[in-house]
Structure 1
Amino acid sequence: MVRFPAPLQRGDRIGVTSPSAGVAGPGADRIDFSVDWLREAGYDVVVGDMMDGTAITSGPAALRARELTAMLCDPDIRCVIPPWGGETAIDLVDLLDWNALADAEPTWLVGYSDLSTLLLPLTTRLGWATIHGDNLADTPYDVPDALMSWRDLAAGPGPHRQHDSGLVADWWRFEEDARATRWKRVGDGRWTVHGADVVDVTGRLIGGCVETMANLAGTPYGDVAAFGREHAADGLIVYLEAAGDVAATICRNLHGLRLAGWFEHAKAILIGRTNAPDSDGFTQRDAVIDALGRLDLPIVFDLEIGHVPPHLPLVNGALATVTVDEDTREIVQRLR
């Protein structure tokens, strides 16, 4: 059974900690602004000690694991969010106090990129719903009309309805504007389907960043096959996004996920829009089709769920319906 944290309301306490990369330089101005933005939006924000950005991580893995565990187990903290992702959150996965977390009431954990390394096992091991959505630095950006903020998803059971926004955007560099709240529009986009004429499926959402999750496959912290068996009656909708690795590497990673049984109970696969490079004419789309096209599942490409903003937040564990046809491109999530 999926355990959904209590709805997040204005006035609730949000904890900020860096399980992966910390904060330094021009990025510190952005995080200060983002903390103030959340406070002005009505939340009680507390910032942890593990925020140092002078090295690849914000501190020793044991200390990062201890602070994250403490925040997630603190009944006064209703949500935890990192400043952004990073590179090596995997070094603290086996240092979290999983027994304490299992005994605690679930708390929202929000983020993407390297945070997928933590979102995934919280959902697959503990059954906690987690939110693949904006990190703290992106939270102040305006949300397109077709999408929702992660805060709105966390605020109630839904149904939460989001559509293809048509927007392809980029971030403002911190040196340009550390207080930016409007995305830099760079183009237009559209969801497309491979392997079916139309898509109309319902299942439990699970997924995240390919490069970080591939390292969890085959371990107790990335057993999506077991999660699929547990929810076989509903089936899964697996969503994936490439951060920056070349297409050949992404292809190998996706084959690894396939061989680890991640799609055995899948009804559809969602792929995030990416700027990750091709490999000598072998495109990112080719990589997905090479690894997953043989599964005879509909694949929906170019969703706003990754490293190309804006962001369509998804709740790991939510029951979602994805509909794509000539007239409709939407995903509806129910937190039940």
Structure 2
Amino acid sequence: MNINRRRFITTLGIAAISSQIPSFVVQARTPNTIIKPPRLRLGDTVGLISPAGIVDSADVEQARQTFTALGLKVKLGSHILDNYGYLAGIDRDRAGDVNAMFADKSVKAIIAMRGGWGGNRILPLLNYNSIRANPKIIMGYSDITSLLLAINARSGLVTFHGPVATSTWNNFTLKYVKSILFDAQAVTMNDTLITQLTREIITPGKAKGKLVGGNLSVINSMLGSSYLPTWKDSILFVEDIGEDVYRVDRMLNQLKNAGILNQLSGFVFGQCTRCSTGDEPSLTLIQVLQEYIRPLNIPAWYGSMIGHIKDKFTLPIGIKVEIDANIGIIKMLEAAVS
């Protein structure tokens, strides 16, 4: 994942912690137990945090206007405007904002300002017991993948791969945010309704499983850690940006060698935005996907509204879904919020 990725232009206008953060002991959870956060309601407060890359005051003000327009109140993380090199503050403070927002009873949802890099660095500093005891919506994508997967794996909380605060909060994106997070609907996300989308079926068929995934580069950077969910019978979705095809090849090979791909029941590659073959001789992205995914004999396709794009689905990590690779459908089999 390119650290210097270009942030999308926002078009719609969408706490304090002690100086020392202890090393938290993670309480074991019952396998397959999930916790659904309470739904959002008009007048609720959303907490904005910068757990990865840097934002400025204009970004924050635009985000405040966006969420106010949605009928929500806004609370800012204490360190939302910090900077430390390419990071939005030191690890302790960025983790502190995550922990403080979960502990704050007035905050009903937590939205990351942007991706970038830095999520992996704060995973050991998160209080997963507190997160489990104070379930609430947390949403983002790109580098925020690390928080979404770790929180789901260690706390059992359903998390949400969706827009960050600096995303383009247009009608398409808002439709899924409102239906899933506010209305508690079990939504069907249908790629065939999007005429400009290029889809490529890798293996036809239908499959059911627990939905997991996020940014491919970030997932690979987490391999070997204790912050990933179980993979058996999962539907894996991935996306990426600015990666040459040979790098995608390398990352899929790593997933294969780690024994992850052969545990899946289905696979969806959303969008690989600005992923090129480069100047040297190269395989195409579809060739690479076919080589790694087709031998698995599981329903799979490329080309879904997931990733570094303006129009994006909201995907709940940790709930049961059914996919249909023939027509590009991800169907939630249950609501993701309570």
Q: TM-score, normalised by structure 1?
A: 0.82
Higher relative contact order (CA 8 A, sep 6+): 2
1:277 counterpart = 2:283: no
Q: CA deviation at 1:200?
A: 2.0
- 1:1-336 matches, within 5 Å, as 1-24=33-56, 28-52=57-81, 54=83, 55-102=85-132, 104-138=133-167, 140-143=169-172, 148-164=175-191, 167=194, 188-196=196-204, 199-222=205-228, 224=229, 227-229=230-232, 235-274=233-272, 275-279=274-278, 280-325=281-326, 328-333=327-332, 334-335=334-335
Query: Are 1:34 and 1:140, in contact at CA under 8 Å, matched by a contact in 2?
Result: no
Q: CA deviation at 1:68?
A: 0.6
Q: CA deviation at 1:165?
A: 6.1
Residues 1:264 and 1:4: Cα distance change in structure 2 (over 3 Å): farther
AA of the residue aligned to 1:115: I
1:166-189 CA distance string (max 9 Å, x none) = 659xxxxxxxxxxxxxxxxxxx21
1:286-329 CA distance string (max 9 Å, x none) = 3333333332222211111111331011100121122243xx44
Residues 1:165 and 1:53: Cα distance change in structure 2 (over 3 Å): farther
AA of the residue aligned to 2:294: G
Q: CA deviation at 1:238?
A: 0.7
AA of the residue aligned to 2:179: D
- Separation in 2 of the partners of 1:141 and 1:306? 15
AA of the residue aligned to 1:136: A
Q: Secondary structure at the match of 1:138?
A: coil
- Separation in 2 of the partners of 1:31 and 1:292? 41
Q: CA deviation at 1:278?
A: 2.0
Bigger mean CA deviation after superposition, 263-272 or 38-47: 263-272
Gaps spanning 5+ residues in structure 2: where? 1-32
Identity %: 21
**RMSD across aligned C-alpha pairs, in angstroms?**
2.1
Gaps spanning 5+ residues in structure 1: where? 169-187, 230-234
Q: Secondary structure at the match of 2:51?
A: coil
Query: Are 2:179 and 2:185, in contact at CA under 8 Å, matched by a contact in 1?
Result: no
Q: TM-score, normalised by structure 2?
A: 0.82
The number of equivalent residue pairs is 299
Query: Are 1:153 and 1:160, in contact at CA under 8 Å, matched by a contact in 2?
Result: yes
Residues 1:263 and 1:73: Cα distance change in structure 2 (over 3 Å): farther
1:50-105 CA distance string (max 9 Å, x none) = 22365311100011001111112322211111111012221111111223323x23
